[in-house]
């Protein structure tokens, strides 16, 4: 089934205006959702709102929205007041600057849309896509929709353009807020880690190689319930021995059979480099020889 556009808008930069159609790049998978039921009779239960002060049920018609500015203190807003605060929707994405694609951390990525040229927009659309692709840049701009204002990034892909909503800086936590202790990495450990990365490397990423196992299990369990079958709960597997030593963990990962990443189609004529086990052993020997020398040097100091 052909995709349906969800909106039409104009991408503008300078005096160039490109009419485009907007398509959702992602879709909510028809996953399994559960409802709350009455345990005794199996009927659906309904949610009921109660006034915390009077302890009486309240209908939606008697509710308004409020903002808590202090503990248990609110200011109320009418629907009309909230509507007046919304951003006026526009039918344009106005580009303000162009930056290298690598300059934007993916942590800022939000919802993505595909852009396709609308009537009369094929030529400028192709021009912008090619210019961005060859310059390895993306466009940054503003877009207002659904009462909100968004930062958007328009980036080139192989067959066209993607408009990616970006989070605001206030919506992204700095990694400096996380306590990450500084730890020294030994050269021998680094070599083994790089060797393991090489052994499991691929030239492309194929998302179809990864499946949502949990969703599949839930769907299968639901189907069994529907068919009146009894569900058998699988026992949890026993945990394996934990490897504490970092070098031993890296060595064991390299020597373990079948450590390759999920089968993917690699680029023609290209194969992931794999180091034989004897090179790992030689590297270990080199590390062991280096340790005494390092301790001797420390004693002299």
The domains of the chain, with CATH numbers, are 1-26+48-171 (2.40.290.10), 182-202+251-301 (no CATH)
**pLDDT at site 89:** 65
Q: Binning pLDDT at 50, 70 and 90, where does residue 90 land? A: confident
Q: How far apart are CA 39 and CA 44, in angstroms?
A: 10
Closest CA to 162 of 153, 174, 170: 153
Q: How far apart are CA 275 and CA 259, in angstroms?
A: 12
**pLDDT at site 279:** 47
Range from 186-195, 245-254, 273-282, 285-294 that averages highest in pLDDT:
186-195
Least confident piece of the model among 32-41, 184-193, 251-260, 275-284: 275-284
Q: Binning pLDDT at 50, 70 and 90, where does residue 45 land? A: confident
pLDDT score of 156 more than 80:
yes
Mean pLDDT calculated for residue range 110-117: 94
Q: Binning pLDDT at 50, 70 and 90, where does residue 275 land? A: very low
Mean pLDDT, the chain, rounded, equals: 80
Q: Binning pLDDT at 50, 70 and 90, where does residue 235 land? A: low
pLDDT score of 266 more than 60:
no
Q: What percent of the chain lies above the pLDDT cut of 90?
A: 33
**Strand, helix or coil for residue 21:** strand
**pLDDT at site 28:** 67
Mean pLDDT calculated for residue range 149-158: 92
pLDDT digits (tens, 9 = 90+) for 66-88: 989 899 888 988 888 888 877 66
C-alpha separations of 272 from 45, 200, 246, 266 in Å: 56, 7, 24, 9
Please, are residues 124 and 16 in contact by the beta-carbon 8 Å criterion? yes
pLDDT score of 230 more than 70:
no
Closest CA to 162 of 139, 146, 135, 144: 139
Please give the DSSP secondary-structure letter assigned to residue 176.
G
**pLDDT at site 158:** 86
Range from 194-198, 231-235, 277-281 that averages highest in pLDDT:
194-198
């Amino acid at each position: 089934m052909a995709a349906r556009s969800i909106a039409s808008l104009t991408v503008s930069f300078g005096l160039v205006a490109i009419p485009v159609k907007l398509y959702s790049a992602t879709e909510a998978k028809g996953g399994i959702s559960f409802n709350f039921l009455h345990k005794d009779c199996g009927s659906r239960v309904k949610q009921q709102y109660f006034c915390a002060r009077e302890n009486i049920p309240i209908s939606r018609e008697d509710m308004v929205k409020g903002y808590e500015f202090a503990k248990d203190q609110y200011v109320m807003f009418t629907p009309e007041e909230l509507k007046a605060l919304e951003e006026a929707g526009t039918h344009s994405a106005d580009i303000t600057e162009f930056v290298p694609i690598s300059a934007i951390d993916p942590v800022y990525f939000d919802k993505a849309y595909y852009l396709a040229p609308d009537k009369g927009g094929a030529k400028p659309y192709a021009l912008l896509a090619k210019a961005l692709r060859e310059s390895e840049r993306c466009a940054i701009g503003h877009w207002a929709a659904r009462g909100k204002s968004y930062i958007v990034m328009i980036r080139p892909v192989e067959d066209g353009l993607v408009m990616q909503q970006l989070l605001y800086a206030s919506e992204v936590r700095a990694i400096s807020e996380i306590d990450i202790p500084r730890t020294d990495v030994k050269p021998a450990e680094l070599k083994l880690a790089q060797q393991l990365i090489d052994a499991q490397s691929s030239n492309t990423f194929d998302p179809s190689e990864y499946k949502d196992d949990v969703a599949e299990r839930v769907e299968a369990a639901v189907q069994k319930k529907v068919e009146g079958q009894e569900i058998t709960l699988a026992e949890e597997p026993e945990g394996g021995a934990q490897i504490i030593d970092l070098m031993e963990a890296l060595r064991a990962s390299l020597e373990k059979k079948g450590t390759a990443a999920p089968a993917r189609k690699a680029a023609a004529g290209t194969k992931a480099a794999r180091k034989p086990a004897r090179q790992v052993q030689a590297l270990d020997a080199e590390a062991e020889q280096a340790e005494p020398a390092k301790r001797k040097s420390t004693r002299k100091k």
